[in-house]
Chains A and B, each alone.
Chain A
């Protein structure tokens, strides 16, 4: 039986009726159209589906949409200000930290959450914070450099 839930996505409330067996990733993509959230492995290994739920990045493929009822969710669509990219997004573009792009939404959301808590992370801290997000183009070096640069940009 469908349940009526409210998801606050990127500061906007959405009321949606969902079957209990649908994941947050599915509802974000298929019902609400936030296609920036990617689904890779579907079992919590790759981190492509990372979204921020109540301030913490999680694998949205392993969260039931009904469990997220009432939660505040940030997807990749929610971090830019209009046409202005978030510093982490800007740095990813500038440093060539995007190849195929499939891991990028998750990488950026994990990185942004790290920088919100720690404005000056060390390289091991950056690598640890991104260790749940896999990049199969193996562009890790550039991703780490981009996060480091974004930290500098955000301090200005």
Chain B
């Protein structure tokens, strides 16, 4: 049976107290939110923090709130609420779609959006759609509060811009321009409890209902140390009129912009090919949404 090693447990009542604890305990403390990754790693002996700081009782970090046309999401919000909440389903359907394929129903009832971000796994489901929609993360420490675009947050597997003593409190997404749509497709061997073989999140903003592409983001996941833009494929779309042929072309370019590894879930060559397929497919989905169809 898997048993947890010993640790001290703290339960701060607000973010200020949490930051204070983290700075006092230095590197020996880890924040615990849903615990669906951390406790597994601790049970397997991969992680042995001296203290855990539970943030579940802190008010104000488990809500979804509309802010100036955009959305602010508390870091402690459970994944399942991204699937259920009307505001997310309507305004950020790409995010609820990605949330609906994360882990299992039991995991989604416990795991949090903040945890899925700070763990910085290369195949995490929520960073690709969040990056595609221009999300920022709000980080609080004892002395300051700062916002970092998610695009610049990830450094590599398990590595982020978060500094010791900082707590991720909110994910902020500004109002999206009109005629914007997104789509996320995760390629899996099975439908539940699965890590992506390849996943792609695409976002398109059109000039008008039948206009040219003004903004395009293609985020490739599970094919590099962190979720990355298919930069050249994105460039190939800007200023162009959307078409199946254009999306096919973007997919071909994107397939050359990833650096996957061979592992049990799939070979590198297969993954690159699938990047091409999923890029085309998600661009088509994003276009339908951008046109309001």
- Complex formed: what's the CA distance from A53 to B34 in Å? 13
Known A64-B32, A132-B192: A58·B106 in contact at CB below 8 Å: yes
In the bound complex, CA of A66 to CA of B54 (Å):
9
Alpha-carbon gap, A67 to B103, bound state (A): 21
Given contacts A44-B106, A47-B104, A58-B106, contact A67 B54 (CB under 8 A): yes
Asked if B107 and A1 sit within 8 Å, CB to CB, the answer is no
Residue of A nearest to B2 (CB): A42
In the complex the two chains form, is A43's CB within 8 Å of B107's CB?
no
B146 in the interface (beta carbon within 8 A): no
Count B interface residues, CB 8 Å.
33
A3 touching B40 by the CB < 8 A rule? no
- Chain A, residue nearest B100 (CB): A128
Given contacts A42-B1, A56-B109, A131-B192, contact A64 B9 (CB under 8 A): yes
Mark A12-50 against chain B: 1 for CB-CB distance below 8 A, else 0: 000000011111000000000000000101111101001
> Do B80 and A20 touch (CB < 8 A)?
no
- The one of B7, B40, B56, B80 that contacts A21, using a Cβ cutoff of 8 Å: B7
Q: Which residue of A lies closest to B40 (CB)?
A: A43
Interface size class of A (residues with CB under 8 A): 20 to 34
Smallest beta-carbon distance A146→chain B, Å: 18
Whether A3 lies near B106 (C-beta < 8 A) is no
Q: Mark B1-18, 1 if CB is under 8 A from A, else 0.
A: 111111111010000000
Q: Are B110 and A129 in contact (CB under 8 A)?
A: no
- Bound CA–CA A155/B133 (angstroms): 43
The residues of B that contact A42 with a CB separation of less than 8 Å are 1-2, 43
Determine whether the beta carbon of B110 is less than 8 Å from that of A63: yes
Structural contact, B39 and A131, CB atoms closer than 8 A: no
Expressed in whole angstroms, the minimum distance between the Cβ of A74 and any Cβ of chain B is 13
B40 and A62 form a contact (CB under 8 A):
yes
Q: How far is the CA of A20 from the CA of B32 in the complex (A)?
A: 12
Neighbour of B109 across the interface among A3, A19, A43, A58, CB < 8 A: A58
- Bound Cα distance from A110 to B67, whole angstroms: 35
| Contact pick for A59, options B2, B4, B7, B110, CB 8 Å | B110
B35 at the interface (CB under 8 A from A): yes
Give the contacts of B120-143 with A (CB-CB under 8 A).
none
Q: Which residue of B lies closest to A131 (CB)?
A: B192
Q: Which of A42-99 contact B (CB under 8 A)?
A: 42-45, 47, 50, 53, 56-59, 61-64, 66-67
Which residues of the other chain, A, contact B105 by a CB distance below 8 angstroms?
A: 57, 110, 128-129, 131-132
- Contact between B36 and A45, CB atoms less than 8 A apart: no
Q: Which of B6-63 contact A (CB under 8 A)?
A: 6-9, 11, 32, 34-36, 39-40, 43-44, 52, 54, 56
Cα separation A8 to B60 with both chains bound (whole Å): 24
Assess whether B241 is interfacial by the CB under 8 Å rule.
no
Task: Chain A residues near B3: list those with CB within 8 A.
Answer: 21
Q: Which residues of B contact A23 (CB under 8 A)?
A: 4, 39
In the assembled complex, the CB of A17 is this many whole angstroms from the nearest CB of chain B, namely 13
Contact in complex: B35, A62 (CB < 8 Å) = yes
CA of A19 to CA of B58, assembled, Å: 22
A131 and B104 form a contact (CB under 8 A) = yes
Shortest beta-carbon distance from B62 to chain A in Å: 12
Contact B191 A20 (CB under 8 A): no
**How far apart are the CA atoms of A20 and B105 in the complex, in Å?**
25
Q: Complex formed: what's the CA distance from A53 to B80 in Å?
A: 14
A44 touches which one: B40, B78, B80 (CB < 8 A)? B40
Contact B2 A43 (CB under 8 A): yes
Say yes or no: A58-B110 contact (C-beta < 8 A), given A3-B9, A43-B44, A131-B192: yes
A-B contact pairs, 12 of them (CB 8 A): A1-B8, A3-B9, A20-B8, A21-B6, A44-B39, A56-B109, A58-B109, A62-B36, A63-B110, A128-B105, A131-B105, A131-B191
Residues of A within 8 A of B (CB): 1, 3, 19-23, 39, 41-45, 47, 50, 53, 56-59, 61-64, 66-67, 110, 128-129, 131-133
* 10 closest residue pairs by CB, A with B: A132-B104, A20-B9, A131-B192, A42-B2, A132-B106, A21-B4, A56-B109, A43-B40, A58-B110, A132-B105
